[in-house]
Structure 1
Amino acid sequence: MEDRDGQLDRRELVTAAAGVVAAAAAVRAPAAIASDRVRRKSKVARYAMSGAVTNGDTADPALSSTQHDGRLMVAVYEQLTGYDQGLRATPWLAESWQHNGSGTVWTFKLRKGVRFHDGSALTAKDVVYTFQRLIDPKTKSPAASLLSFLDPAGIKAVNDHTVRFQLNRPIADLAGALITKSSYIVKRGSRGADLATQTNGTGPFKLGHFTAGQTQTTFVRNSRYWQRGLPKSDIVQLISIPEPASRVAALKRGQVDVIEDPAGSDVPGLNGGGTEVVFQPKGNMEVIAMQIDQPPFDDMRVRQALKYALDRNKMIQLVAQGAAGTVNDIPIAPFLQYAVPGPARAHDIAKAKALLQQAGHGGGLTVKLSVSDVQARFMDFATAYQAMASQAGINVQLDVRPADTYWDNAWLKTPMFVSAWIARPADAMLNLLFPSDAAWNETHWKSPKWDAQFAAAQRTLDPKKRTALYRALERQIIDQGGYLVPYMVKTVGATRSNVRGYAPSGTFFEGERFKTIDIR
């Protein structure tokens, strides 16, 4: 059976893919992932992600939070706008937008000819429904606090292809501010109970098989996708292989076609012998978050001592094998326009000891750092910092948690933990992590004065004035906040030599969209 694109019929693809998933034994042995018959009749891309799956994984964009969720969303759904390589807003489902001169009313024109996977046309009413659902307290979306400038009554469909947002305060860059981990457009009337396991997006792939907590998810080509010639693959199989060595071994054995985030020590051996390495200069920032309302981190001198104990250059060599650039204790990518210029805080053990003495910890300090192997480099990062801090008399005890429960039971829930962020625009990152009511306020930074200054920066239309305001906000976080952020790692991926079109994502939202991956 064939559809109008000359590819396998969706029913056959889904049936084959589901059977393949059932047949695959375990993450460590994914060789059975694609049957010979399916691979002969269609292009199957087997993609190994670095994150662990959890029972909290979901297909509902409003509740997206895990790495698996993010991969699923960019395959199946789309947002109004996206980011280019410089993290500037670019058209996606919306072709254009403009404001009323003061940033309080914005009008977006939608792309015509876009259809959901069920064949129905995308309209402005779907966009209205999506954003009203996101900010509805009943939905409990973490994106609600990021979209606090939206008024549900102010989101209106002017006609089928025009949406108007009347905001409750001015926003200078609404096209960028609307982009969150959850802002994927769903069909009007979609219910949360259904969205958790079923999808109906406009993206390049339909969801073939997904069960929360299972190591494999299957996507099937959307033959009606609005971007001509895409996607290149008929089936994408997303496989969770958290251990870097296991991902590399699977690639070398030909059991997967693409892997993300190989260990730095393995990268030289992946150039040749049937595999290739792909680099992206932008990438991930591993961080240590200290909740500044919890002792001993409620003393700024202790926080600063922990920061001075950090040797950024050594950390880059030990953990990132030199493939990174320094960052100054705030997860803002240094290449951004609004980033604070200049060198990062210097490594200074003497100053760290002096600050601890002033804080009453002259005899030493013991802290507990929650960590897991849920993402590559987390354990190496924590172990390296543990050794550095010991030179200042700081005993960092590692609280190692299981990968499958880390994001639910340790992240945001313990006073000190390891986390990671991929590059976002400065406005988006500040909005995500630092307002007093932010759902993902990792460090418990709560300052009404800072909140007011941030709101003022968001509504400032003059670029030079806005830059100065953002940098002032960031300096407060760098000097007084609860983050240790040593570097931004280059994003690295690797493929089999017969793979074309794969580029690892170095910025938020671009995501591993899968749609350009082509198996030759």
Structure 2
Amino acid sequence: MKKISHFLSVILILSFLLVACGSPTAAPSPTQQNATNPPVEPTQPTVEPTQPTVEAQCLKIGLSISSGETNSLDPFAIPTSEQAVMINQVYNRLMDLDNNFVVHPELAESWEPNGDATEWTFHLRQGVKFTDGKELTAADVVYSYKRLIDPADPSEAASSLSFLSPEGILAVDNYTVKFVTKKPVAELPVLITIKNAWIVEDGATKEQLRLNGVGTGPFIPVDFQPVQQPHKFVKNPNYWEPGLPKSECLEFYVIQEPTTRIASIQSGEVDIVEYVDFATIPTLMGDPNITLLKTSSASTSLTFAMWVDTAPFNDLKVRQAMKKLIDRQAIVDTVYLGYAMVADDNPIPPNSPYAWRSVVPGRDLEGAKKLLAEAGYGPDNPLKVDLYTADFMPGVVAAAQMFKEQAAEGNVEINIIVGPSADHWSNVWLKQPFVNSGWDPRPPGEALAICYRSDALYAETHWKVPAYDALLDEANTTVDPSQRTALYKQAGQMLTEQGGELIPIFTLGVAAMRSNCTGYERHIQSGRFDLRYATCNR
């Protein structure tokens, strides 16, 4: 096979050195509605992954984040985007979400509730097979959801699926699944279409799935290992959507240094870059060989997570002062060059109908100083804090440095500790009381729960407030849309005014693709990486 060029070989060596330091973050889009074609009966019962005969046919993708040794093909826990990208290729979910969080059929062809929305029945596609030849049945769906909410070993999705119980997930027959809840759950199809809800085989264990993910998805992993360059996947010839996927094979390269990542797509060493550093956008806009792909609405949030049970952030006045000190619009304009929007310290974008307010107040330096003085801080006794950060997505460190300068005007001294991106998610995040983080956008019921409920696995602010949990429980079981929206707004307001999350901006997701390639669109959820239609003319 044709050897990879010297340039990409250098990238591989650098990437291995970075990873060695430690380990770390659809339905078709509206223009791809033909993705929900009916299934076809596979012509072969099983397939063995094989190397493509022509390496040039492989679609090459540059990723920005390494999962390190935590990388896995098990959807039980997906803390980083590299792992999410891999899992996207191997599995399907019951339904998929478009950029507006509207559900579309995937493995489920249709669904309907009973009269009071306490039972939801899903009808599966028939003839869909896993890559080991086993036919998909309701038992696989039941098992996949039960393992996520197993009380003895709950997954990261358990808090978001708190309205489900193991005994309420039933196989009616081989192709029918029923979800029974104690109270009405009017948004159940949306709420169960979360990032972990990929369907695995009945009985599959963590040990089996970690390196040998067997799914119904468009691609098959080849000799998968957590840390390798490249991660290779080949086309599933028995995939249930006719004519898909378009590419024969995929190769994923982790290229964490932004300049190197952009150079790799400009040179043609990779075909798609998942994240574009915002400072490089003007250069790429002038390159006729590059197409920039921007999300139409708010994508990943940038967060400054403060532990609310740890000094100095256990003082509400300190948390509120930190939120007043930051100049959100200045970060949007300077760091993100306008490719972002101001956020309001909760996971719902201000332009969402679920936001508790649509206009976010500007910076209030004097108000911040007043709160800090009441908390015992001032010019002679400045508040001193360590902020742990890394360039796990474009602009994070630059935004942190800008916040440091802004905070200094309010008698807050922020010591920025920049670590390697590969180390951030496994050795820093959830382990330090003040860290940068980031979250994909989600429907409100999931977004407000995933790291803010008391039982959340990723409780990055240690926010554990029973009254808040009760709001979400009530919202999940409220049938009237206007009443449910009002409850979401109350929860968002509570986080803004009392929570430990400082969320200054939502970025617009910007990816880059070679102009000779088509079929890939940047989803607002960076973890939804759909390559079924992607192909390149060589």
One-letter amino acid of the counterpart of residue 312, structure 2: P
- Please provide the CA RMSD for this pair: 2.2
1:145 alignment partner, SS class: coil
| Secondary structure in 1 matching 2:69 | coil
Match status 1:167 vs 2:181 = yes
- Checking the alignment, whether the CA contact within 8 Å between 2:300 and 2:526 is kept in structure 1 is no
Match of 1:141 in 2: 155
Task: Label 1:406 to 1:244 Cα distance change in 2 as closer, same or farther (>3 A).
Answer: same
Give the Cα–Cα distance (whole angstroms) in 2 for the partners of residues 207 and 268 of structure 1. 36
1:332 aligns with 2:348: yes
Q: Go from structure 1 to structure 2 and tell me whether the alpha carbon gap of 1:337 and 1:51 turns closer, same or farther (over 3 Å shift).
A: same
Structure-2 change in CA distance of 1:374 and 1:264 (3 Å): closer
1:236, CA displacement in angstroms?
A: 0.8
* Distance across 1 between alignment mates of 2:234 and 2:452: 38
Q: Within 2, Cα distance between the matches of 1:99 and 1:498?
A: 45
Q: State how far apart, in whole Å, the 2-side matches of 1:431 and 1:488 are.
A: 18
Match of 1:441 in 2: 459
What SS does the corresponding residue of 1:45 show, helix, strand or coil?
strand
CA distance in 2, matches of 1:38, 1:226: 20
**2:327 counterpart residue number:** 311
Instruction: Give 1:220-369 correspondences, 5 Å limit.
Output: 220-271=234-285, 272-282=287-297, 283-362=299-378, 363-369=381-387
Q: Does residue 213 of structure 2 align to residue 199 of structure 1? A: yes
- Kept in 2, the 8 Å contact 1:500–1:518? The answer is yes
Between the aligned partners of 2:153 and 2:536, the Cα distance in structure 1 is: 39
**2:170 corresponds to:** 156
TM norm structure 1: 0.91
1:346 is displaced (CA, Å) by 1.6
Structure 1 partner of 2:481: 463
Which residue of structure 2 aligns with residue 7 of structure 1?
none
Q: 5 Å matches for 1:498-509?
A: 498-507=516-525
Distance in 1 of aligned mates of 2:529 and 2:517: 15
Q: CA deviation at 1:213?
A: 2.5
* Correspondence for 1:179 among 193, 201, 214: 193
Q: Which amino acid aligns with 1:253?
A: S
Structure 1 pair 38–81 and aligned structure 2 pair: CA distance change class (3 A)? closer
Contact 1:313 1:326 in 2 (8 A): yes
**Alignment CA distance shift 1:472-1:84 (3 Å):** same
Alignment deviations for residues 467-493 of structure 1 (CA, whole Å, 9 cap, x no partner): 111101111111111111122211111
Residues 80-159 of structure 1 aligned to structure 2 (within 5 Å): 80-159=94-173
Instruction: Kindly state the Cα deviation for residue 40 of structure 1 after the two structures are TM-superposed.
Output: 4.3
Equivalent pair of 1:79/1:93 in contact (CA under 8 Å):
yes
Q: Match of 1:8?
A: none
Structure 1 residue identity aligned to 2:147: R
Q: Which amino acid aligns with 2:322?
A: L
Summarize deviations over 1:138-178 as a string: whole Å, max 9, x none.
54421222222222122111111100112244322111111
Contact 2:408 2:414 in 1 (8 A): yes
Q: 1:62, 1:139 within 8 Å by CA — same for their partners in 2?
A: no
Matched, 1:513 2:526: no
Residue 429 in structure 1 maps to residue 447 in structure 2: yes
| CA–CA distance in structure 2, aligned partners of residues 453 and 503 of structure 1 | 35
Compare 293-302 and 134-143 and name the one that shifted more: 134-143
Deviations 1:284-326 (A, max 9, x none): 1111111111111111110111011110110012221111111
Aligned twin of 1:386: 404
Contact kept? 2:340, 2:507, Cα under 8 Å: yes
Secondary structure of the equivalent of 1:251? helix
State the distance in 2 between where 1:456 and 1:466 align.
8
Q: 1:10 — aligned with what? A: none
Q: Which runs of 5+ in 2 are unaligned?
A: 15-50
Structure 1 unmatched runs, 5+: 1-15, 31-36
Question: Can you list the C-alpha shifts for 1:497-516, whole angstroms capped at 9, x where unaligned?
Answer: 2111121121366x111111
CA–CA separation in structure 1 for the residues paired with 2:4 and 2:340? 38
Q: Which residue of 2 aligns with 1:34?
A: none
CA distance in 2, matches of 1:372, 1:360: 30
CA spacing shift, 1:305–1:110, aligned 2, 3 Å: same
Instruction: Kindly indicate whether the alpha-carbon contact (under 8 Å) linking 2:113 and 2:121 is maintained by their aligned counterparts in 1.
Output: yes
Contact 1:80 1:185 in 2 (8 A): yes
Following the alignment from structure 2 to structure 1, what is the Cα–Cα distance between the partners of residues 277 and 80?
A: 21
1:394, CA displacement in angstroms?
Answer: 0.6
Alpha-carbon distance change, 411 to 246 in structure 1, aligned in 2, over 3 angstroms: same
How much has 1:256 moved relative to structure 2? 0.6
% identity of equivalent residues: 35
Could you say if the C-alpha distance between residues 295 and 264 of structure 1 is closer, same or farther in structure 2, counting changes exceeding 3 Å?
same
- Secondary structure of the residue aligned to 1:95 is strand
Per-residue CA distance 1:229-266 (angstroms, 9 max, x = gap): 21111111111111111111111111111112222221
Task: Write the distance in 1 (CA, Å) between the matches of 2:113 and 2:227.
Answer: 43
Output the CA distance in 1 between the equivalents of 2:116 and 2:463: 30
Aligned to 1:12: none
Shift of 1:50: 1.2
Equivalence for 1:11 = none
Are 1:27 and 2:11 an aligned pair? yes
Judge conservation of contact 2:72–2:210 (CA < 8 Å) in 1. Answer: yes
Aligned counterpart, 2:33: none
Deviation track 1:193-245 (CA, whole Å, cap 9, x = no partner) reads 11010011111111123211234211111111122221111111111111111
For 2:291 and 2:254, how far apart are their aligned partners in 1?
20
Give the AA of the match of 2:405.
A
Change (3 A) 1:106 1:267: same
> Would the aligned equivalents of 2:295 and 2:524 in 1 still touch at CA under 8 Å?
yes
Q: Is 2:275–2:511's contact at 8 Å kept on the other side of the alignment?
A: yes
The aligned residue for residue 38 of structure 2 is none
Letter in structure 1 aligned against 2:291: E
Q: Which residue number corresponds to residue 70 of structure 2?
A: 56
The one-letter code matched in structure 1 to 2:532 is K
Q: Compared with structure 1, are the counterparts of its residues 118 and 387 closer, same or farther at alpha carbon in structure 2 (3 Å cutoff)?
A: same
Contact in 2 for aligned 1:57/1:69 (Cα 8 Å): yes
Query: Which amino acid counterpart does residue 308 of structure 1 have in structure 2?
Result: K
TM-score normalised by length of structure 2: 0.88
Q: Distance in 2 between matches of 1:420 and 1:166?
A: 33
Is the Cα contact below 8 Å between 1:88 and 1:425 reproduced in 2?
A: no
Aligned pairs for 1:378-417 (under 5 A) are 378-417=396-435
| Corresponding residue of 1:486 | 504
CA distance in 2, matches of 1:38, 1:497: 23
Are 2:99 and 2:523, in contact at CA under 8 Å, matched by a contact in 1?
no
CA contact (8 A) 1:42 1:234 kept: no
